[in-house]
Amino acid sequence: MVAHTAPHVLMPSWSQQRPAAYPADLTWNFSDGTRRVVTFDEVVALMPSVSKYVVKGSLDSPAIGSVCIPESKAYVTMCQLATKNHAEYSARFGYSLALVDSNLLVTEPTRSAASPRPYAWLKMPLMGWLLSRHPRAFWSDSDALFMNMELPIPHVPGAWMLASSEPDTVVNTGHVVLSRSPEAVAFVRAVWSIYPEPCAPSMAWEQAAAEYYLSGQRPSCQQVCDVDGGLLTADTACNTIAPEFSQRVLLGSTRWMNAQLVALGNQSKTGGYEAGDWRIHLSRPALFELFDPELPDQNSRTDLMSAYASLANGPHEALVAFHRNVTSGVWVAARMQKVNASVASSGRGFARAPRMRL
């Protein structure tokens, strides 16, 4: 078991900039003429109609859940690559794969809807629905791939949550295993209800709510946030699993479930992906770390994802060689040369192609 703590530097508090009132939570017009906030159970009840089983395994086996909204050309490609990779892995083990590819938090076919919640929040009702049907559910962010398909979804008897730890957060909820239990059901319900999340508006969204819940919901943990809006405090209790959860929440190393393409600046050198790891996460922060001081263009992640997907569970030597080219800067140099040549030939000078922003 890991009681994760990390040193922190105080940053300006988002809480000092918070508006007096937040927009109303997810609110829909109902057929009876009423308009009210939608309950967690009502969103869970919609999951069978808005999610689809890309792979349908036994209800006695685990399920993988993911959300990928094809909101741009690059995301269309990324969603296709992730879905194909996830489906291949699921079929290999007889797991189910449930995918949501439309954002019902913004538009739902039979009701008008308006919500400030980003679609990342769909993680909680989808996991809640999967746990009502399967003994275990694994959440996978859509910018991650299964690379070693010989490794099954981890299972530790007695633990209701398995996840990777991070240097500056309680837990990374982008890749997490939940086992059907009162604690897991309480977790997805509670995280949904912690809205707006601590440090809102933020880029941490439901992860900030999960961190707050797992660290014991200390009011002081809402008060000091980092520049990206995530939880950050000098009080290490805010970055430690609360005692009531520590015996049945198991946190492993970053590379256990969330091996970043390259180790991020706040991670140890062991945080980056190595050939043989179960999964690789091509997160936007990792792309910025890889390209620094350049800025990655919008297609860099999909091109990398396509290359890694083609090597998943393939010849080990080929994967090692490609990954070495990526981490050594060879791939980035070739990529930037290609981007600049394309921009120059278009007559637009050397103004960079559209950039990826956090």
Q: What is the CB neighbour count within 10 angstroms for residue 257?
A: 27
Beta bridge partners of 225: 231
Q: How far is Cα 229 from Cα 238, in angstroms, rounded to an integer?
A: 15
Question: What is the phi/psi pair of residue 317, to 5°?
Answer: -65, -40
Which pLDDT belongs to residue 3?
33
* Residue type at position 120: A
Question: What is the phi/psi pair of residue 28, to 5°?
Answer: -125, 155
Residue 48: partners with Cβ closer than 8 Å, 6 or more residues away: 129
* Range 123-160 burial, b when 16+ CB lie within 10 A, else e: bbbbbbbbbeebebbbbbbbbbbbbbbeeebbeeeebb
- pLDDT tens digits, the chain, 358 residues: what are they? 333 222 222 222 223 333 334 445 666 666 677 777 778 898 898 898 888 899 999 999 999 999 998 888 888 999 999 999 999 999 999 999 999 987 666 544 333 344 557 788 889 999 999 999 999 999 999 999 999 999 999 999 999 999 988 766 778 888 999 999 999 999 999 999 888 788 766 677 888 889 889 989 988 777 656 555 455 444 567 778 899 999 999 998 889 998 999 988 655 666 799 999 999 999 888 898 898 888 887 788 899 999 999 999 889 999 999 999 999 999 999 988 887 887 777 665 444 444 443 3
Question: What is the phi/psi pair of residue 222, to 5°?
Answer: -95, -5
Q: Which H or E run contains 74?
A: helix 73-93
pLDDT in tens, 67-99: 998 888 888 999 999 999 999 999 999 999 999
Q: Which domains does the chain show, CATH number per domain?
A: 14-258 (3.90.550), 267-358 (no CATH)
